[in-house]
Amino acid sequence: MTTLTIKDLHVEVEGKEILKGVNLTVKTGEVHAIMGPNGTGKSTLSQTIMGHPAYKRTQGQILLDEQDIDEWTVDERARAGLFLAMQYPAEIQGVTNVEFMRAAMNARRSDDDQIGITEFLRQLDQNREILSMPEEMTERYLNEGFSGGEKKRNEILQMMMIKPNIAILDEIDSGLDIDALKVVARGVNSMRSPEFGVLMITHYQRLLDYIEPDFVHVMMGGRVVKTGGSELAKRLEENGYAQLRDDLGLNI
């Protein structure tokens, strides 16, 4: 079992405090959703967990199984089983999807246990099928010329191949039509197991109709202000953030 623990996390970006004391624990086997208004720091939280250097921790801790990972590079975090599907996946020239995924998978394996091409292709075909992705997409350069929806699907393919212990999916549903949303949900649901935990950032209840969360957290003003079950997302969809803000007596 792997546990990601975020304790009283404060983070600055370009000298401005964005996260103001986030507390959150995600364990393998659990599905968490984070909702919250735009600009509240959801992407900042995910980038900070993954180790993006622009995000400076000023207080608090990020622990992976009790170990403080503040000094770890992005690569070290990935090798330890963390994965981030970014809100805006980058296009990278010169590296194909296939090369990228195989390198990322092998980085998590020991030198004497590198994945062979046959086994790699077997898993690739299997996962491509779950995601209804054409073969030629995986042969292209990373995300190059992909539509918004194709990029999101590709992020999920990477996740399925790399098999992280804990994945963070930042607005994986944005820009997806209903069919693409179902496909992405099928991919995430195929990963659900006691060895896999996921933190999904989303604006919409819709995603949670297809991937049922165990926990829903609401972030406002750089903090998690409320945690509940899937009913919390439904209530938010009906009443909006302003109502919750009033209910909690928050002035943010």
Cβ proximity to ligand ADP: between 14 and 136 the closer is 14
- Contact segment (CB under 6 A) with ligand ADP among 11-19, 24-32, 131-139, 224-232 equals 11-19
- Residue among 5, 28, 40, 43 that touches Mg ion (CB under 5 A): 43
Helices (H), the chain: 42-50, 74-79, 97-107, 117-130, 135-139, 148-162, 178-191, 205-210, 230-248
Binding mask 49-78 for Mg ion (x = CB under 5 A): ------------------------------
Q: Residues 29, 39: contact at Cβ < 8 Å? A: no
Taking the C-alpha atoms of residue 103 and residue 59, their distance in angstroms, rounded to an integer, is 34
User: What 3-state class would DSSP assign to 216?
Assistant: strand
Q: Residues 34, 199: contact at Cβ < 8 Å? A: yes
Least distance (Å) between residue 241 CB and ligand ADP:
12
Residue 54's binding partner, choosing from Mg ion, ligand ADP, none, with beta-carbon cut-off 5 to 8 A by kind? ligand ADP
| Residue 97 near ligand ADP by CB under 6 A | no
Instruction: Give, for 201, the enclosing helix (H) or strand (E).
Output: strand 197-201
- Residue among 38, 93, 118, 251 that touches Mg ion (CB under 5 A): 38
Taking the C-alpha atoms of residue 41 and residue 18, their distance in angstroms, rounded to an integer, is 6
- Contact segment (CB under 5 A) with Mg ion among 16-24, 86-94, 131-139, 191-199 equals 86-94
| Residue 74 near ligand ADP by CB under 6 A | no
Amino acid at position 149, single letter: G
Would you say how long the chain is, in residues? Answer: 252
Tell me which residues in 106-145 interact with ligand ADP (CB under 6 A): none
DSSP state for residue 165 in the 8-state scheme: S
Q: Which of 214, 137, 117 is nearest to 183 (CA)?
A: 137
Least distance (Å) between residue 41 CB and Mg ion:
8
Taking the C-alpha atoms of residue 32 and residue 197, their distance in angstroms, rounded to an integer, is 8
Taking the C-alpha atoms of residue 239 and residue 247, their distance in angstroms, rounded to an integer, is 11
Cβ proximity to ligand ADP: between 17 and 195 the closer is 17
- How many chain residues interact with ligand ADP (CB under 6 A)? 12
Q: Which of 19, 3, 18 is nearest to 60 (CA)?
A: 19
Cβ proximity to ligand ADP: between 107 and 252 the closer is 252
Tell me which residues in 16-45 interact with ligand ADP (CB under 6 A): 18, 36, 38-44
| Residue 13 near ligand ADP by CB under 6 A | yes
Cβ proximity to ligand ADP: between 174 and 230 the closer is 174
- Contact positions vs Mg ion (CB under 5 A): 38, 42-43, 87
- Contact positions vs ligand ADP (CB under 6 A): 13-14, 18, 36, 38-44, 54
